[in-house]
Structure 1
């Protein structure tokens, strides 16, 4: 392996490490403010961030494996991490659905969705940058798995957009079910990501054609 390739693999690994650390911070603040402001969409977004951490750890291990042997198959650790991630996404979807039903029955409204606007806006900017940076490195290495990972980052962008739109609608109009609609959007993408995780565990590369 050339020194140039080693440098690129190091960049890919650092990007995956940044993804993990960012999602931890995002998860903490989203769940904290989501709980305080009683907004289901933001709280669910925070839980999703922690699930992304699990996924990110698997990706970091994948990059190290590819660096050592580009033709190697997924390790047992990667497959287990993917299955745990997929299960977590499905459980999140069930939890969000229960929350939606509860909020509709009780006519619950968030205190505010201002933090949802702030956090989702920052997430969109960060995830778009990560997506482009991962894709650039993946193309230079001609690595389909790394390019696929960059495509999967688009799902995080979509989820951030859902949170931003629902938060803006509620903050501007006070529409009672804007938060519920946002949570429903998160369910859709959580189910999609859960399915992707189990497919990758079976050896199918992430297509992420959302």
Structure 2
């Protein structure tokens, strides 16, 4: 492994660590304000952030493994992390679906969506920076897993856009049902991410929009 390659794997390591710690912070803040302001979309967004921490832990383990020995196969921890992540996304989708339907029938309205507006803007900017950095590192290392992780981070941007739209519409119009509609948007992405996590755990495909199939994503780097 050349010095340049080692440098880029070090970058990949730091990107994985930053992703984990940012999602922990984002999850804590989002769940707090989502619960206190009774904003379902923001609360669900916060729960999603903690699920992304599980996914990030698997990516961190992968980076550490490949840095030490590029020819090793995916570890049991990585596969377990993916399966837990997939199950958590499905549970989140069910929970959001039940809560959204209940809120629609009870015509529930959040106290305010201003925190969701601010958090979504910060998230979009942060995640876009991470996507750009991961793609740069992934291309430099010719690493399909890192490029796939960048595409997964793009999904976080899409979810942030859902939160931004629902928060902004409520702030401008006071249309309370938009919060439940935003939750349905999160359900769509949660189901997709859950399915992709199980597919990657089974070694079916690179996942998260990565074109082409491989026996094991971590074998290509």
TM-score class, shorter-chain normalisation, is: over 0.9
The equivalent residue for 2:142 is: 142
TM-score, L = length of structure 1 = 0.97
Tell me the distance in 1 between the aligned counterparts of 2:41 and 2:119.
12
Q: How far, CA to CA, are the matches of 1:207 and 1:82 in structure 2?
A: 13
Partner of 2:16: 16
1:159 corresponds to:
159
Quote the residue 1:122 is aligned against: 122
After the TM superposition, which residues 1-210 of structure 1 pair with which residues of structure 2 at under 5 Å, given as runs? 1-203=1-203, 204-208=205-209
TM-score, normalising length: structure 2: 0.92
Deviation at 1:76, TM superposition (A): 0.8
Cα distance in structure 2, aligned partners of 1:103 and 1:55 = 30
Instruction: Describe the superposition over 1:27-47 as per-residue Cα deviations: whole angstroms up to 9, x where unpaired.
Output: 000000000110000000000
Separation in 1, partners of 2:51, 2:89: 7
Runs of 5+ unmatched residues, structure 1: none
Question: Shift of residue 207 of structure 1?
Answer: 3.7
Distance of 2:144 and 2:65 partners within structure 1: 14
Runs of 4+ with deviation above 6 angstroms? none
Q: Which runs of 5+ in 2 are unaligned?
A: 211-221
Number of paired residues? 209
Aligned partner of residue 8 in structure 1, secondary structure: helix
Q: Distance in 1 between matches of 2:209 and 2:166?
A: 23
SS of equivalent residue, structure 1 residue 88: helix
Give the alignment's Cα RMSD to 1 decimal.
1.0
